[in-house]
Amino acid sequence: MLDAAQSLGHLPVSVKDLGVDLLAAAGHKGLLGPLGTGLLYIRKGLESLLDSVRQGGTGSASFDDHQPLTLPGKYESGNPNAPGLVGLGAGAEFLTQRGLVRISQDESALTARLISAFAQIPGVRIHGAPANAQRLGVVSITFADRSSTEVAAILDQTYGVQVRAGYHCAALIHDALGTRDSEGTVRFSVGPFNTEEDIDSDIEAVEAIAQGESPTIASPRACACVAAASGPAPGPGQPTSSVGGAYGNVSEIPGIRELWEHTLGDPGITIAVLDGSVDLAHPCFEGAFVEEVPALVSMSVGRGIASRHGTAVASILFGQHQSPIRGISPRCKALVIPIYGDSDALESPRCSHRATAS
C-alpha cells in the first residue's frame, strides 16, 4: 500500500509500474482540492478481498438492506461530499492541463533556488536531502538563536510569508533531528502557484531574521498570540483594525459588542480549558475566577509553545475588561486543566503560525 497523503507532491506516479495494490491520498494537498476530500485506489481484482469498515446508506440500491457490493458504493457510505468532490475535480483538471512534468520541473527549480540561498545564510540550518530532480518542494530549516514558532510569527506578521512551524505531525522524528528544543522546524512549501519573486522574498526575509534585523515577538508574559487575542476597545475615530495586529481582535467578532451589553458571563458557568499551563500572573487574569486542577503534566509555566498557547486560549475567554486583553466571557469561572507540557513528547498545539497549503 502506498500512502500518498504527504509524500508524493507533484511527482508523477504510476501504480502499474510500482506494483501498487492500494494508494490513499488526501485531496487538499498535492491535488489542490478542498479539505475533507481524498481518494483510494484499489487494484482491479482486489475489491473482492476488502470489506468496508463503515457501513450505512444504500442510496445506489435503495430497496436493499445491505451495503452495495459494487464499486464505488461498497466503500462510500452516506452522502458524498459533492461540493468538495467538484473542487477536487477542478484541482485535478488544473494539474492535468498544466502537466505534472512541467509543474514538477518548476517546483524543483524553485526548491533548488531556495536551498542554495538558505545554505549561504549564517545561523540557518537546512534539514533534508540536497536539491535534485526527485526532491519534493518542501524545505525545513531551523535558526541557531530563535525558536521555529517565533520565526514563523515574524515571517507572517512582518513579511507576509506563510509557513508552518512545529513538529508537522511527526513529533518523534525531531528527537533524531535534534530539533525538539527549537520547537520543531520552519517549513517552506513550494507549490505550483509560487514564482521566483515569491522565493526571493522568502530568502530576503530569512536573511533579515538571521541577521537580527527583524523585530522579536514578545516574551511569554505578553507573547504575540496572547497580545493578539484581544485588546482595549478602540477610541473614537480609531479604526478597529489597528487593535490586535495580524491575528485580529475579539472585539471585532460580529455581534460580540451587542452581547457584552447584555452579559460578560456568569460565575455560575464554568468553562474548562484543556491546553498548556496558563500564566495566571498575566495582568489580564487579575480579578478573574480561576481554578486549577492537578494534571499529569508539569503545572509550571515555561517558555515553550504549550504554555504560551494555554495562556493565549485562556486570555481569549477570561481576559478582564479593565486589562489590555478583553475576553469573551470574563465573568465566567475558569477551570484550567493542563494536558500539554512544554517538554511533552506529544506535539503541542500551535499558536503563532498558519499552515501552508501543501
Burial class (CB in 10 A: 0-12, 13-18, 19+), 254: exposed
Catalytic one among 169, 225, 284, 332? Answer: 169
Burial class (CB in 10 A: 0-12, 13-18, 19+), 123: middle
Give CA–CA dist 247/235, Å, rounded.
20
Q: Which cell numbers hold the place of 265?
A: 458571563
CB of 75 within 8 A of CB of 14? no
| 3 state DSSP class of 188 | strand
Pairing state between β 270-276 and 333-340: parallel
| 3 state DSSP class of 334 | strand
CB of 213 within 8 A of CB of 158? no
169 is a catalytic site residue:
yes
DSSP code at position 63: T
Give CA–CA dist 302/6, Å, rounded.
32
Of 336, 307, 346, 312, nearest in space to 147 by CA: 307
Give CA–CA dist 187/168, Å, rounded.
9
Write out the catalytic residue numbers. Answer: 169
